[in-house]
Structure 1
Amino acid sequence: MSGKDDDLFFVTNVQKAGILFKRPFLHVSGKWQRRFFVLKDGFMLYYAEKEAKTFAETGNFNIHPKGVIPLGGCLVNHTTETDKPYAISINHPDFGESNVIVATDTEESLKDWIDKIKECTRITYKNAQVGETMIKCLKAKSEVIEEQRKENQEKLEAETLALQEERELREQIEEQLRQLQAEKEAKEQEAMQLKEREAEQRQSAMEERAMSLEQDRKSTHQQLLDAQTQMQTIAHEMESASTTAEQLQVKLSEAQLERQRAEEQALRESEERLKLEKKLKLAEDALLRLDKALRDSGVKRSELVAADVKQLKSFFEDVLDDQFWDSQKSIIMESAVKARPEYQSFELRTAVDAKKKEVKARGGPRTMAQSTSSANSGDGSVGGGSGDGSVGGGNADGGDGDVVTAPAQPVE
């Protein structure tokens, strides 16, 4: 045994305790066995090796050893007769020829064990009896201690059971607390997530509302700009319409004045046309009477007379044509004034001239004289029948009077 082991198993109520190698008492050549030895007064007690652990934990040795060696009067020596270098021989006359052989691991341990065993050999028989009595007392005390140990063990077991139950209860409570805490944390987490979702929804709704309001603002602003532009356009249009209305009012006033003048001119021309128609009627009647007188006289008409009559006829046709267009001018002017407030006299003249050219291209208007000549003429003579009237300086009855070649002035 090492010094460390000796210190571990040394206790105050025994002289020494430790692990030694022991050879069987009667078999010198037997196998070495490890045993736990205790030196108590004049005895050397040995146990199984595992008892060393109990002794180290409690400080008490078992009163039921595997064997007891009385040491009183024994001889203790270091022996080299074995295969162990640190062997101890314990000899007594009562042991017979056999010796008790034990061995240690180190030289230091060997010396210590020899010294302790020699001290124990000095105990006399009387001391042995005292030791026996002491052993009995120790046995009784050990029994009491064992009883107390059992009671303590039972108490300890009861306390351990109570502690175990308490621990289990505490663990159950702690588990319930953990579950409650977990549920609380889960609910708090759920509430927090719900709040976050609600906050996100509110934020999203606010953002959507803000976007909608921004779009409404932009739309309203654009509508306002469009309305302003439209108002400006309307203002320009109203200003232009006002200017146009003023211009139209001026033109309407001018047209009304022009119409009034045209109506007055048409009235005058109508009166003149009536007068000219009367004169034309008288001239046609005179031509008819002249033609009748020439036929009734039986005088052969010369080419000069025919030419004069033709020239006179052409003169009256031109007069009739001019009178026709003069009468149409007032009608055209009145229609133009009604259709176009911005009527202009230049356009009227252009329209009248174009109409005259168109009618002349078709052959001119048919006069009353043309109608009469077409109905009564045969071989180029004008009219028929006799009359008493004369034209110019000719005689009414044919005679030898000259026929005036120039157009006669119309009779009022």
Structure 2
Amino acid sequence: MTTKTAPKQGTTPKELKAKKDSKIKGTAPEPPKNGPPKTSPPNTIEKKGILRSLSFQFSNLTRKKCNDYDLTPEEDGAGYDEMGPVLGVQNYGILLKKYKRKNRSAKWAKRFFVLKECFLIYYATSYKKVFEKTRRIDLHPKGIIPLIGCSIVSGGDVDKKNCLLIAHPQLPAAIIVAAADHQMQEKWLKALRSATKISYKNTVVGETMIRELENRGVLLNEEKKSYEERLEAEARARKEEHDRADELAKDKEELEAEREKLIRTTKKLKDDLQNVKNELKMTNEMKKTLEQEKMSLNSKTEHLQANMESLNIEKEKIQEQLAEIVREREKVLIDNQNLSTDKCQLNNRLMEIETSRNCIMTEKEKIETLLKMNEQKTMDLEKERQYYTMKTSELMDHLKEVSDQRDLTESELKEQMMARMGAEKQLQAAEKALEHLEMALKMTGAQMTELQEHIMPDVHKLREFFEQCAEESRFEANRTGIMRNAVYARKSIFDLAFVNLDGQPLDVYERFCEQNSEIVHPHNFQRTRHNGNWKNSSFKRIGSIRRSKRGIRSSIRKKETTTQIKEPLMQL
């Protein structure tokens, strides 16, 4: 019967396992002191060549004791001075290595080289810092160059000067490395050449050592079998103890888990109880605050009800006012509609006025064309007049009666011009009144009273102005008609007389002047008896009379056009 002993408090399962492992190690059988040293059994696969020598070289780094026949430079004090600062390494540093691939040009790459006995090992340049810190060689380099039987020559390449050439009959091509300067080249050359010599001795020693180790391995295998049988028996016993310890550890772990679970549950219950107490306090406080709020809300509701009643009364009043406003608005809309119809009528009337104005403008253009034609004719007559002035210069001095008539006509024309200027001023006042009328027509709504105040005086002014203009135009038309008829009659008589008397002697002209004393007096011909061109001066006077008649006609036409434009406005 096996009894389970409870583990001591404060010990963990990991500590128990560590104790068991130490017990197992302590009870392991120790080999005899006088027997052969411990060595691992030889591998079934035999190592040959470079790998065999590498395994021998790197195995010495971890071995504390060595036989007398191990003559490597790491243990021999005579060769230590030539090996460099790191034990077991002859030289190390960064060099440039030349490499070439198929169908590509050669390139140079930086590599960190380590010279270990008969091997030149190279890594990436980043490994230099690791090597300087740890002073250990990585067993996974980028490449290894064995120096056994190699010839090392210094020289130069195409791009580099300080080069080292490593050649061997078994290598497919020579390996070229380049140093930074000549001093570094010499240092590496010396180290590499010494490495070739050291490697030969080490290989001989290694081969003898390997043979002895193989012989010892056979003896060790026999001893190993006896040791293994004893170890199996002890291992079974230890396994049973280990199983018992595992069961105890599992039981302890289960108990610890249950204990932690109980602790967590109790803690959780305590926290829940505290939370419930806190919530109860908060609910009591909330209840008090709610009661206070309820009291305040009741008072507020009563106040709000009173306010609602007053607001309802005000609402009814506002609704009545709104109804009145709506009725007034409807009335205003009806008035606006009436005003819009009036406005449309006025706009139609204005359109008619515009059409009539356009007609007048067309007539004006026609008149202007006629005036241009008359001006052309006057230019022709002016040329004729210039031709006849040379012949009729003396006759002008003797036609005083005609000059008196001309003075009368000029005074009448001046009066007409003054009347015309007054009419233009009145016309400007009428235009301003019309502008006021148009502005007033655009105004609507509540401004109708102002519109009436603006329109009525303007309309009265227009009516008075147009009546005055009509009377003046009638009077002027009658007066100018009488003058025109008289001038035409005299002109026709005078022209016929001169046409009939053309080629007659001077006595006939004197009798004609005596019969028509109103136009020509007999004493006007006293200084023209010796001049044969006395007849042209009469034509000059007749031209001036014609020009005065044309000015009168143009003024009459302008007044007629103004009356035609203002007649529709008078109807408004």
Shared fold per TM-score greater than 0.5:
no
Q: TM-score, normalised by structure 1?
A: 0.31
Q: TM-score, normalised by structure 2?
A: 0.23
Of the two, which has the highest radius of gyration? Answer: 1
